[in-house]
Amino acid sequence: MMNEYTSQPSLDVARARAETPGCDRVVHFNNAGAALMPRPVLDAVVGHLQTEALIGGYEAAEREHTAIERVYAATATLLNCDQAEIAIVENATRAWDMAFYSIPFQPGDRILTAQAEYASNYLAFLQVARQSGAVVEVIPSDERGQVSVAALQAMIDERVKLIAITHVPTNGGLVNPAAEIGAVARETGICYLLDACQSVGQIPIDVAAIGCDILSATGRKFLRGPRGTGLLYVRQEWVERLEPPFIDLHAATWTGRDSFVIRPDARRFENWETNYAGKVGLAVAIDYALGWGLMPIWERITYLAGRLRARLRDLPGVAVHDLGAIQCGIVSFTVAGKPAAVVRDTLRPQNINVSIATLPSTRLDMEARGLEELVRASVHYYNTEDEIERLCMALAAL
């Protein structure tokens, strides 16, 4: 495989684990669900909540204004964009929804998406198609299971309104060729929406290099931030063209009895009430990731994931199901004769966390491969080789 590392990348794992309280309690291979927060993030969230409790929520927001606003600059650095192109909302799905439902679809408009698209996104496609008369079409996959860029190019015509792709699907290690897709979108002037929920934080992301117009992501996964935090990037050109599906006094100003003006930056996709402690924690989480460096994080993750896949393939009755020319930190597998939920629930009392993926989460992909469910083990840079061995020994005991 192209990105399996034969030697361990340089990263201070001992320090990472010492700064992660959960490492003393669990072997955590559910980072694609919600990663373990590092101590600085935990302290930032709890500290803000304590301030709210002691002086009041509004007063705390005023006092901690700089720490709250830091999230915009940190996110802009993370994604290589301008602060005015960033919105912070309560989760990645709402971030994606706020942008997608702003696009004015007409009868006959085509939405192009991937076979491994996430259920929440595809449900939105179906709803909008039903309401507007737009049509949803799936781009064929290539021989490695990723979006075929050649097939995408062949599908382009004047009716294509949107290319919407999940960068890293929920049910495995596949990494779709986001930049190659972006080149097609830029060449044709078609809006490109990238769901980066499971890639931001484990893979270096540069929106300028990728060429996406809109990107959504979450704080709780590989960024190691608090739950209830999501981020949205909208390229300035598209900020000015998209009116949010709903607005409030934060997103717009009531300028007269019968008039209003929507704010000119991406914060038009936010709403007034928000999780301030979450914003503070997300800013710290992003700065923490930037401190390690996204490339060393990516190298460590792919090294561990490659090692885990190799060990799983050695176990009788275990089959690895990851696709793609490039594979990330999500490792999907099945154990012969053992339902995925049984595997998960057997590991949990041993303080080993994994998750499962079922057919409705990525229906088109799972049906095409004849899969009903998968066990999902997702590594992060604070995981160790010993933890991989512990997981594999537990699976062998099944």
Q: What is the pLDDT of residue 9?
A: 64
Nearest to 237 by CA among 271, 258, 213, 273: 213
Nearest to 163 by CA among 78, 244, 95, 103: 103
As a whole number of angstroms, the longest Cα–Cα distance in the chain is 71
> Is 200 strand, coil or helix?
strand
Q: What is the pLDDT of residue 8?
A: 59
Tell me how far apart the alpha carbons of residues 184 and 158 are, in angstroms, rounded to a whole number.
14
Q: What is the pLDDT of residue 10?
A: 79
Nearest to 193 by CA among 147, 162, 218: 162
> Is 121 strand, coil or helix?
helix
Contact 112, 139 (CB under 8 A): yes
Which token pair is 65? 């204004």
Other CB atoms within 10 A of residue 58 CB: 10
**Would you give the distance in Å from CA 145 to the centre of its chain?**
19
Where the chain has pLDDT below 70, the residues are: 1-9
**Would you give the distance in Å from CA 356 to the centre of its chain?**
17
What is the CATH number assigned to the segment(s) 42-291?
3.40.640.10
151 exposed, middle or buried (CB, 10 Å; 0-12, 13-18, 19+)? Answer: middle
Extended beta strands in the chain, E state? 27-28, 86-89, 110-114, 135-139, 160-166, 191-195, 214-218, 230-234, 252-256, 259-262, 318-320, 330-335, 352-353, 355-358, 373-378
All CATH 3.40.640.10 domain ranges in the chain, comma separated: 42-291
Domain 13-34+293-397 in CATH 3.30.70.20? The answer is no
All CATH 3.90.1150.10 domain ranges in the chain, comma separated: 13-34+293-397
Q: What is the pLDDT of residue 156?
A: 98
Q: What is the pLDDT of residue 326?
A: 97
Q: Who contacts 67 (Cβ-Cβ below 8 Å, separation ≥6)?
A: 44, 48, 280, 283
